[in-house]
């Protein structure tokens, strides 16, 4: 037969094991075929018919197809503003961070010793935020400006002194999308949004805080010092949303009295991407440090007394505090925060000041030029945004702007223009020409050059920033490209990523993030689109999003998806709010009880409480399954008020629970809705589906199951799928219509969340096809069961299904080693010496490791990992047998740095080779942890959350 029709299959690149390896693993498991293994694993009653998806495309064919789709997007120059601006992403950051798997495939830095690079970049980010806002403490990123504002509102609400106050004053000049999200988030807590400018409003007793947009959405800047003082005198706090770039020139809100400052860091080099991803920031006063949502990076030291970083305070806060957690934020936007921090380091204080000043000067020049033709510019004060009152000429200006491939902002008889980093003198000439033409003038009538040297100030003197920023050496040392490149690479080298070895994190699904899937994300035809661009310029995006909607609906068995939630936890919240709206539409708004199994991920109870629900915990039996009788009893007991069940499937214990359909029925019979947490969807795709099982809503973590890389803790996407009866309630958006009249208000800033990374999941499905996706699921289950079989004799494996099989992950019990002083953390740290990232530690069961290999790991890699864990088990056995000391051993001292192993005063009872090269493969492939074991409690006792000066650190 001829080979002319032969085509390489992407599936064969995505799935790790070769067919020979698959056969070897099946043999090891004692089954004849993959089908037989799947039959033993997935209960027959939930098996779905095969997926109906388009035929798989090769990588080459896919890139051709997506190039054609991208051509349907029109990249007009945006002057829309409204929180999204064109940027200039420095090439050195684009190629070496954004497009570099050494940065984008990392996991959230829970294992600090092999994550010092991104921890440093995130500490730099916090420093940038503190410096620009003038506040004392900042977190390492939130999802977007609107949700950050909502977090600010909620934090100030929780911390309010007068517990009867429930009014949040909102200045009317707020970005509409931010107001939309505030509305959504205010409802469950009974917070009243009162639209009034804090400068004019009566500060009544029922007000707990006030919100100010700075500069205002209409572009003006005003001095709020006295207003803030007056509010504080009445116990009212101030939350400000500020444009970070403007703060290079404006007095930072922290200096005039803001208690919380939030915003986006998009302007620091992050492409608009039709809405995201971008990192939001959150800064506040030191006194609120224990209430801050999200992650905070802090300085501490390691076992050798050296400088080391780690996540501070509320690490995994939701897992501990559950429904009392201060927020449900888990995945944030780490990669984008890292990029913004490098942008700040690359430009430094003077560079950023130059950029901000140029923006302001070009805005002033635009104002002068346009005014010269008889237009009135309404903003007396401004940073970058102008408003021209144009009356009936608006339509003409709009059409002339479109002729010049420019988008302005239009509101009634006003044309708004926001200048940004990418704007040039030539752009200003074009803008002036557009306005001139409508007045019937040629631009030659006015010479812009005449204005250049006599631009008046547009920022009032009392608002001019005087305080310095970015004074730390990290922002003053890397301004040449070589220095920057090497700084980026030096940090990257400290971090273990998927470039080095498998990251077997249970529940997190760290699978292949294929290069071809990533390529289009940084194309300008996807990157340079404003989320509020006119619809006829975005049809490429809409085609991609609509097809992805159809495919994910088929995969989940649901009627429709909403792409607004930009993380799994946001999906949970959105889904619960949709359920709430559904109950309300039936006159059952009193339903407020949410059942959640004890094994649930911490975001579940945290989201439920944000949605105003009362959490009732359902027991799990000794085999790890939901206790169906307990569930029934609680559903019946709360039937009158039952809102929903949140259930993860397969369970977080890694098992396909047989009675899942019965569980759904019990909830429905008692008037509730079933929310499925789709984090474990990787075990379902093609074999079963949430819709088929009987769930009503499910979020997908596209950054787990559908190949969006983890980015060191984000970006992610958490779209929700819903059954037909819930479709009318899917989130809408105030600027761009994306749902019906009954739709709930927005849950994110942008109508399609972090739209540009949807391309990654789109590519994955397009190149895998239905059969390929199903094979991926089958392979993930095979890999997991193979690991289980290899490790069972060494570590007890908790929980399994009826036939002794696990789903796509399993839990290794390490609690038995405690009696010889070995903790699960010691195993996690020792794995670093073997070149591996630890599995998930202590979730969902304390003292255990949850292992998930995914389908993308070959048998060779999986065997290497098993060999490492078995070798570690032997090291534990040596302690158990008394051959190794219970304190002075390789586990307790792990991880070992190169400095420790090569030090002249080695005095350990084990050899250097045992410390660093315990298995032969390491000779070839050694990854050195850059610091020794970090000291957690020291870091929390003295919290240092921005770059310490070198002297300060030396003294500490």
Ligand X SMILES: *Cc1c(COP(=O)(O)O)cnc(C)c1O
Tokens, residue 264: 């986006």
Pairing of strands 237-242, 260-264: parallel
**Residues between 420 and 459 with contacts to ligand X, criterion CB under 6 A:** none
Contact string 487-526 vs ligand X (x = CB under 6 A): --------------------x-------------------
CB of 568 to ligand X, least distance (A): 2
Please choose, out of 414-422, 563-571, 585-593, 723-731, the segment that lies near ligand X by the rule CB under 6 A.
Answer: 563-571
Residues 601, 829, 859, 893: which binds ligand X (CB under 6 A)? 601
For residue 753, state whether it binds ligand X (rule: CB under 6 A). no
Contacting residue, 715, 718, 721, 929, with ligand X by CB under 6 A:
718
Helix or strand or coil: residue 165? coil
Report, in Å, the least distance between residue 852 CB and ligand X. 10
Stretch binding ligand X (CB under 6 A), from 55-63, 468-476, 564-572, 887-895: 564-572
Q: Smallest distance, Å, CB 569 to ligand X?
A: 3
Question: First-to-last CA distance in the chain?
Answer: 74
Residue 323 backbone dihedrals phi, psi, to 5 degrees: -75, -5
- Residue number with the smallest Cβ distance to ligand X: 568
CB atoms within 10 A of CB 20: 9
Q: Which is nearer to ligand X, 465 or 808 (CB)?
A: 808
Query: Is 609 one of the binding residues for ligand X (CB under 6 A)?
Result: no
Using an 8 Å Cβ cutoff, are 664 and 694 in contact? yes
Q: Considering only CA atoms, which of 644, 604, 648 is closest in space to residue 509?
A: 648
Which tokens hold the place of 87? 């940027």
SS3 787: helix
Strands 697-699 and 673-677: parallel
Query: 152, 348, 568, 691: which one contacts ligand X (CB under 6 A)?
Result: 568
Chain-centroid distance, C-alpha 522: 18
What's the CA dihedral at 518, 521, 525, 527 to 10 degrees? Answer: -160
Q: With respect to ligand X, which residue has the nearer C-beta, 80 or 850?
A: 850
- What per-residue string of b and e applies to 399-431 under the rule 16 or more CB within 10 Å gives b? ebbbeeebbbbbeeebbbbbbbbebeeebbbeb
CB of 506 to ligand X, least distance (A): 8
Q: Contact at 8 Å (CB) between 197 and 174? A: no
Tokens of 658: 């047989």
618 or 822: CB nearest ligand X: 618
Question: What number of residues does the chain have?
Answer: 956
**Cα(344)–Cα(178) distance, integer angstroms:** 26
| Ordered alpha helix ranges (H), 888-948 | 898-901, 912-916, 936-941
**Minimum distance of ligand X from residue 678's CB (angstroms):** 8
Rounded to a whole number of angstroms, the minimum distance from the CB of residue 652 to ligand X is: 6
Q: Which is nearer to ligand X, 710 or 790 (CB)?
A: 710
Distance in angstroms (rounded) separating the CA atoms of residues 300 and 279: 25
Binding mask 325-344 for ligand X (x = CB under 6 A): -----xx-------------
Give the nearest distance from C-beta 162 to ligand X in angstroms: 33
Beta-ladder partners of 811: 798, 850
* DSSP secondary structure code for residue 302 in this structure: B
Nearest CB to ligand X, comparing residues 342 and 764: 764
Min separation Cβ 345 and ligand X, Å: 27
Euclidean distance between CA atoms 478 and 307, whole angstroms: 21
Q: H or E stretch including 211? A: strand 207-214
Restricted to residues 650-689, the positions that interact with ligand X (CB under 6 A) are 652, 677, 679
**Residue 576 C-beta: closest distance to ligand X, Å:** 13
- Minimum CB–partner distance for residue 151 and ligand X (Å): 14
Residue 293 in the binding site for ligand X (CB under 6 A): no
Nearer to ligand X, 537 or 603 (CB): 603
Among 648, 673, 684, 761, indicate the residue that binds ligand X (CB under 6 A): 648
Least Cβ distance, residue 510 to ligand X (angstroms): 11
DSSP string, 478-507: --SHHHHHHHHHHHHTTB--TTTS---BTT
Number of residues that bind ligand X (CB under 6 A): 15
Does 769 bind ligand X (CB under 6 A)? Our answer is no
Q: Which of 716, 751, 769, 835 binds ligand X (CB under 6 A)?
A: 716
Angle at 606 between CA 603 and CA 612, to 5 degrees: 140
Stretch that binds ligand X, among 219-227, 304-312, 565-573, 794-802 (CB under 6 A): 565-573
Is residue 567 involved in binding ligand X (CB under 6 A)? yes
Q: Is 360 in the site for ligand X (CB under 6 A)?
A: no
Q: What ranges in 513-559 are assigned the alpha helix state H?
A: 515-518, 524-527, 539-556
Nearer Cβ to ligand X, position 301 or 331? 331
Whichever of 507 and 739 has its CB closer to ligand X, that residue is 507
**CB-nearer residue toward ligand X: 571 or 743:** 571
Residue among 188 and 713 whose Cβ is closer to ligand X:
713
Alpha helices in 48-171 (DSSP H): 59-71, 91-93, 101-104, 116-133, 145-158
Minimal distance, residue 685 CB to ligand X, in Å: 16
- Residue 138 C-beta: closest distance to ligand X, Å: 20
Residue 459 vs 693, nearer CB to ligand X: 693
**Pick 133 or 840: Cβ nearer ligand X:** 840
Distance CA 151, CA 136 (A): 18
Interaction of residue 599 with ligand X, rule CB under 6 A:
no
Q: Is 854 in the site for ligand X (CB under 6 A)?
A: no
Please identify, using beta-carbon distances, which residue of 372 and 569 lies nearer to ligand X: 569
Candidates 293, 172, 896, 377; CA nearest to 610 is: 293
Q: Give yes or no for a contact between 751 and 738, defined as CB atoms under 8 angstroms apart.
A: yes
In the complex with ligand X, the residue whose CB is nearer, 314 or 366, is 314
CB of 154 to ligand X, least distance (A): 17
Nearer to ligand X, 253 or 715 (CB): 715
- Alpha-carbon dihedral 852, 701, 17, 769, rounded to 10 degrees: 160
With binding defined as CB under 6 A, does residue 702 bind ligand X? no
Which of 26, 309, 390, 569 is close enough to bind ligand X by CB under 6 A?
Answer: 569
Core vs surface per residue 162-171: b (16+ CB within 10 A) or e:
eeebbbbbbb
Cβ atoms of 833 and 890 within 8 Å: the answer is yes
Q: How far is the CB of 573 from ligand X (least distance, A)?
A: 10
Q: Is 726 in the site for ligand X (CB under 6 A)?
A: no
Instruction: Classify burial at 74, counting beta carbons within 10 Å of its beta carbon; exposed 0-12, middle 13-18, buried 19 or more.
Output: middle
Is 702:717 a contact under the CB 8 Å cutoff? yes
Is residue 711 a contact residue for ligand X (CB under 6 A)? no
Question: Which segment (80-88, 158-166, 481-489, 562-570) binds ligand X by CB under 6 A?
Answer: 562-570
Stretch that binds ligand X, among 26-34, 561-569, 788-796, 818-826 (CB under 6 A): 561-569
In angstroms, rounded to a whole number, what is the distance separating the alpha carbons of residues 377 and 547? Answer: 43
User: How near is the Cβ of 333 to ligand X at its closest, in Å?
Assistant: 11
Q: Between residues 117 and 506, which has the closer beta carbon with respect to ligand X?
A: 506
Q: How far apart are CA 121 and CA 713, in angstroms?
A: 13
- CB-wise, 527 or 568, nearer to ligand X? 568
- Restricting to residues 156-215, which ones interact with ligand X according to CB under 6 A? none
Residues of this chain that bind ligand X (CB under 6 A): 330-331, 507, 567-569, 601, 603, 648, 652, 677, 679, 701, 716, 718
């Amino acid at each position: 037969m001829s080979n002319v029709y032969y085509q390489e299959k992407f599936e064969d690149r995505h799935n790790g094991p070769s067919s020979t390896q698959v056969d070897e693993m099946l043999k090891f498991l004692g089954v004849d075929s993959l089908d037989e293994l799947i039959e033993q694993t997935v209960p027959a009653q939930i098996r779905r018919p095969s997926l109906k998806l388009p035929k798989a495309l090769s990588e080459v064919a896919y890139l051709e197809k997506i190039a054609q789709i991208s051509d349907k997007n029109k990249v007009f120059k945006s002057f829309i503003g409204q929180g999204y601006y064109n940027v200039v992403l420095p090439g050195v950051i684009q190629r070496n961070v954004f497009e570099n798997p050494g940065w984008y495939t990392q996991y959230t830095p829970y294992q600090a010793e092999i994550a010092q690079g991104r921890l440093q970049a995130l500490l730099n980010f916090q420093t940038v935020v503190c410096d620009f806002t003038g506040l004392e403490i900042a977190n390492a990123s939130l999802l977007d400006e609107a949700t950050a504002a909502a977090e600010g509102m909620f934090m100030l609400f929780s911390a309010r002194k007068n517990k009867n106050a429930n009014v949040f004053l909102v200045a009317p000049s707020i970005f509409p999308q931010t107001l939309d999200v505030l509305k959504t988030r205010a409802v469950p807590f009974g917070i009243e949004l009162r639209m009034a400018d804090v400068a004019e409003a009566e500060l009544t007793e029922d007000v707990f805080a006030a919100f100010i947009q700075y500069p205002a959405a209409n572009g003006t800047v005003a001095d709020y010092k006295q207003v803030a003082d007056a509010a504080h005198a009445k116990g009212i706090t101030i939350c400000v949303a500020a444009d970070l770039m403007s703060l290079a020139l404006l007095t930072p809100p922290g200096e005039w009295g803001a208690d919380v400052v939030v915003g986006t860091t998009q302007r620091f080099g992050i492409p608009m991407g039709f809405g995201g991803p971008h990192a939001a920031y959150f800064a506040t006063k030191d006194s609120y440090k224990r209430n801050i949502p999200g992650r905070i990076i802090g300085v501490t030291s390691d076992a050798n007394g050296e400088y080391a970083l780690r996540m501070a305070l509320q690490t995994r806060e939701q897992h501990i505090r559950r429904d009392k957690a201060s927020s449900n934020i888990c995945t944030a936007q780490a990669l984008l925060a890292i990029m913004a921090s490098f942008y700040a380091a690359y430009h430094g204080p003077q560079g950023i000041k130059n950029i901000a000043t140029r923006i302001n000067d070009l805005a002033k020049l635009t104002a002068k030029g346009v005014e010269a033709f008889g237009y009135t510019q309404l903003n007396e004060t401004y940073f970058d945004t102008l408003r021209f009152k144009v009356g009936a000429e608006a339509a003409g200006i709009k059409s002339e702007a479109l002729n010049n491939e420019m988008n302005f902002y239009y509101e009634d008889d006003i044309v708004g223009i926001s200048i940004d980093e990418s704007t040039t003198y030539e752009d200003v000439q074009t803008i002036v020409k557009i306005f001139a033409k409508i007045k019937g003038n040629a631009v030659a009538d006015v010479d812009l050059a005449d204005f250049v040297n006599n631009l008046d100030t547009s920022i009032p003197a009392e608002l001019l920033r005087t305080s310095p920023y970015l004074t730390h050496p990290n922002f003053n040392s890397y301004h040449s490209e070589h220095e920057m490149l090497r700084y980026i690479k030096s940090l990257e080298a400290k971090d273990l990523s998927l470039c080095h070895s498998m990251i077997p994190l249970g529940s997190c699904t760290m699978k292949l993030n294929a290069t071809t899937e990533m390529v289009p994300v940084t194309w300008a035809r996807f990157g340079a689109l404003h989320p509020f661009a006119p619809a006829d310029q975005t049809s490429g995006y809409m085609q991609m999003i609509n097809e992805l909607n159809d495919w994910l609906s088929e995969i989940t068995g649901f009627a429709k998806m909403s792409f607004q939630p930009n993380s799994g936890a946001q999906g949970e919240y959105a889904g619960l709010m949709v359920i709430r709206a559904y109950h309300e539409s039936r006159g059952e708004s009193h339903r407020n009880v949410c059942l959640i199994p004890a094994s649930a991920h911490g975001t579940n109870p945290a989201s439920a409480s944000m949605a105003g629900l009362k959490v009732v915990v359902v027991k799990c039996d000794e085999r790890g399954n939901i206790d169906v009788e307990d569930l029934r009893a609680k559903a019946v007991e709360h039937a009158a008020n039952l809102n929903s069940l949140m259930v993860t499937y397969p369970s977080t214990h890694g098992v396909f629970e047989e009675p899942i359909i019965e569980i759904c029925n019990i909830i429905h019979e008692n008037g509730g809705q079933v929310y499925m947490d789709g984090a474990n969807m990787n075990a379902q795709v093609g074999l079963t589906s949430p819709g088929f099982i009987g769930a009503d809503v499910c979020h997908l973590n596209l950054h787990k199951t559908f190949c969006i890389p983890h980015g060191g803790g984000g970006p992610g996407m958490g779209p929700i799928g819903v059954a037909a009866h819930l479709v009318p309630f899917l989130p809408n958006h105030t600027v761009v219509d994306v749902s019906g009249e009954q739709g709930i208000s927005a849950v994110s800033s942008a109508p399609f969340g972090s739209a540009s990374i949807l391309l990654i999941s789109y590519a994955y499905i397009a190149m895998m096809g239905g059969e390929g996706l199903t094979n991926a699921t089958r392979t993930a289950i095979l890999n997991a069961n193979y690991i289980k079989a290899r490790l069972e004799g060494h570590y007890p494996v908790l929980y399994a299904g009826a036939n002794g099989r696990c789903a796509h992950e399993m839990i290794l019990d390490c609690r038995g080693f405690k009696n010889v002083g070995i903790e699960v953390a010691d195993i996690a740290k020792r794995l670093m010496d073997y070149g591996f990232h630890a599995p998930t530690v202590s979730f969902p069961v304390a003292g255990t490791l949850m292992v998930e290999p995914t389908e993308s790991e070959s048998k060779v890699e999986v065997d290497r990992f098993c060999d490492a864990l078995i070798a570690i088990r032997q090291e534990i056995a040596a302690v158990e047998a008394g051959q190794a000391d219970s304190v002075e051993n390789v586990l307790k001292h792990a991880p070992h740095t190169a400095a420790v192993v090569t030090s002249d005063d080695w005095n350990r009872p084990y050899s250097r080779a045992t410390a660093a090269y315990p298995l032969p493969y390491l000779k070839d492939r050694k990854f050195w942890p850059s610091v020794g074991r970090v000291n957690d409690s020291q870091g929390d006792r003295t919290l240092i959350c921005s770059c310490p000066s070198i002297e300060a650190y030396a003294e500490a």
